[in-house]
Chains A and B, each alone.
Chain A
Amino acid sequence: MNCEQLIQYLSDYIDRNLSEELTAEASEHLATCRNCHVVLDTTRQTIILYRETGRRGIPIERRADLFDRLQRSLADRKDCTS
């Protein structure tokens, strides 16, 4: 496997979606190619950074408001249909 192919398969490698044969070829390439190894590590770190920081939800001060608004809309709607 060369560098270009490794990059092509990188996401599948990270997600463990490659066949056993391709996984072995990729691992073999990674063992000897520092650049590709850096790309692998930094791609993984990119995913981790977003996963750790990207899961902020509705701001706490807006949350109750939003739920109330939903309840009111549903109640209004019921009034209309009854």
Chain B
Amino acid sequence: MKPRALLLLLLLALPALALRAQDPLVEALRKYQSGDLQGARDMVDKAVGSEQHAGNAEAWLLRGFVYKDLYKATTGTAEGDAARDTALASLYRTLGIDKDSTYRDNAVQAYEFLSRSCYNEAAKALADGQDTRAVMVFDTYRESMLLLSPKADLRARETEFTNALGTLYTRRFNEDRTRTEWFEKATDTYRGVLRIDPENYGANYNLATLFYNMGVSRIRALQAEADIITMQQVQEVAREYFQLALPFMLKAHDMNPGRSETILGLEGIYYSLQDEMNSEKFRQLYETLPPQEDR
């Protein structure tokens, strides 16, 4: 149902109220119709806070719409986030008290729009490098979706977002290899993806690559003047990272045996693990691959 039609319905549903000009709900509706969102907000807040309308589905629905429009006018700001939270809560409240389901479709449609906006904003925040905001907005998305449908399967969205978050952390770590907190965050994030979806190719491959690159960078950071004992200690630390990388790269390869990136990855990991036989095996395999787009 279009918002205009909804407003008409609200007016029809509230004939008695419409006659009472002092009623804050009627005032809110009028202000909303005239485009005065701030005024509508004040009135509708007053309405739902009153004993008369506290259990009124129409009042909560109108509040949901007012705050939804306030959010649309202030998207991407703290004010906008707060307006969206209020809109979601109001629409959810509507669903709880709308026993006849009169407004259900409209409330659900608006609620889902707001939930989806959280996901889209999380993706945008990631693209802008704002990981804290991305996580916060994605949490809102998850919570709001599960509140509406507790059995909703959000795994695909969850893995998509978490993989992208891992990529952002990895990029930060690659920009400055001394900032190991980004390495920790990236590995934790990819492990989080694998807890949801152990068969996720991207998370397996990215996790393996992170561990492998960490091992390589440890060896690369070896000081030229390092004595043999120091060098052997560094080598042992690097070996741990290569060993951590191996099962994830093997898994990614098993999932997609034709991908040259995992074949080269395994060749490199085995090489760094001083396992010449397996390294050569994957090098030979790479050489036999037909030309591919990703080669």
Pairing of A with B? no
A residues contacting B by CB (< 8 A) are none
Residues of B bordering A, CB below 8 Å: none
